[in-house]
Amino acid sequence: MTDASDWSAWLREAENFEVLERAAASIYRQALRLGLPGHLLPCDDPWKLPPDKRADCIRELAGDLWVFLRERPPGWFERESFVVAAEKGERFLILRIAQEFLGYVKDRARTQAVDPRRALYRRLRQILHQEPSIAYRATSKGAFYALGAEAGTEMRLLDLSRENFADWGNPSGRVTLKDLDRRKSLLTLAELFWERACQALGTKGFVPVRDLARFIGLHYPGFSVPDPTPPAGGSGGAPERANEHEPWEESPGEAVVAGHRIRELAKQLVATWTPRQRCAFALHWGDGLTLEETAKRMGYKAAAGAAYPCRSAVESLRDFCLLWPGLSPPDLDERLFEAFVQEIATVCKSDGESRSWN
């Protein structure tokens, strides 16, 4: 398989659906390890279901995978190393498919319970990253892009903070509100915005994707990108503020979302842990005990008894944090992370099962 047409032919072959089913099973295992919200996939945990229902659940996700792969833009398969994975063998191809789809699901998880502007920003990042003619860069300062042929070797970031986008002219003559939800339309606006930004500053470089989202929001006030992920709690709207001076209040952008949902996120993560992991984390990280002291409290003779549950809990925490801005590198907010760890310890301590795990 060397191009998109080969992949289309591969997807049409019925026997290859079994590969997608194995990829689906891999996705479920990784989703459980990461603590992804269950409603993002056809079922929460297929291994808790009877064999026939488990098979249906995996088959349904395989169908979602088929649709996901069919909808990839031109050049995507080559750019995302699928050709190399296919050449290495079926196992590598399964892992590559699972990895790419999990990235898509993680992105959906990160956009739940947020306003339409953030959903638009996410959509723009996805489209610009996938478009071969666009040079896209994700940095600790945010996401930036430039027209590929004009990007050059130097990554010059353009500062548009002083620009009034209302004076840049209304782009509705190029793209109507009715067509704005189309990928091609958003790419047209991205190209137009980049050209106007370079013209306004008198130089070429990478422009912030956030400013592109602001530009679109300003000139198309009735536009929003629907997100299929329901808000946590089901009531809609933004989460309530715990108080007026949370440590993450000055964090940029989406880190605030993670901050306001910190207890919910802690419960979500801890729910995936065993009682032994919860107990070890509460003692070692919550109470500050050494591994030796933690092991003794848990009934072990040596520190090694507590080392594994502590290490596995931390690995799970690390994977989980990759989902949330402010908790994951490169945008780690140390105050937010510290508050999150303390909240996890509190949740672990409040769980009676973790206190009597043995």
The pLDDT tens digits for 134-190 are 888 876 567 889 987 655 556 788 888 888 888 898 898 888 888 887 888 999 999
Residue 325 in 3-state DSSP? strand
Tokens of 272: 């995936």
Question: Which pLDDT does position 301 carry in this prediction?
Answer: 87
Estimate the crossing angle of helix 262-270 against helix 304-321, to 10 degrees. Answer: 130
How far is the CA of 136 from the CAs of 95, 126, 286, 338, in angstroms? 25, 10, 41, 32
> CB within 8 A of 137, min separation 6: which ones?
143, 144, 145, 155, 206
The DSSP bridge pattern shows strands 142-147 and 134-139 to be antiparallel
What distance in Å separates the CA atoms of residue 44 and residue 46, rounded to the nearest whole number? 7
Question: Which pLDDT does position 108 carry in this prediction?
Answer: 67
Backbone torsions φ then ψ of 321, nearest 5 degrees: -65, -20
How far is the CA of 95 from the CAs of 7, 82, 283, 302, in angstroms? 16, 10, 36, 38
Question: Which pLDDT does position 352 carry in this prediction?
Answer: 57
CA angle 56, 98, 138 (to 5 degrees): 140
CB of 267 within 8 A of CB of 347? yes
With a cut of 50, list the residues of the chain below it in pLDDT.
1-2, 113-114, 225-258, 330
End-to-end CA distance of the chain, in Å? 53
Question: Which pLDDT does position 110 carry in this prediction?
Answer: 61
> CB within 8 A of 134, min separation 6: which ones?
128, 145, 146, 147, 148, 187, 190
Question: Which pLDDT does position 247 carry in this prediction?
Answer: 36
The DSSP bridge pattern shows strands 142-147 and 207-208 to be antiparallel
How far is the CA of 144 from the CAs of 29, 123, 124, 140, 340, in angstroms? 33, 14, 11, 11, 29
Question: Which pLDDT does position 25 carry in this prediction?
Answer: 92
Question: Which pLDDT does position 226 carry in this prediction?
Answer: 39
What distance in Å separates the CA atoms of residue 229 and residue 208, rounded to the nearest whole number? 26
Of 36, 105, 44, 41, nearest to 269 by C-alpha is 36
Question: Which pLDDT does position 89 carry in this prediction?
Answer: 76
Q: Which residues pair with 328 in a beta bridge?
A: 325
Question: Which pLDDT does position 278 carry in this prediction?
Answer: 92
Question: Which pLDDT does position 235 carry in this prediction?
Answer: 34
| Alpha-carbon 117 to chain mean position | 16
The reply to whether the predicted model has a pTM over 0.85 is no
Mean per-residue pLDDT of the chain: 76
What distance in Å separates the CA atoms of residue 293 and residue 295, rounded to the nearest whole number? 5
Of 114, 285, 294, 137, nearest to 209 by C-alpha is 137
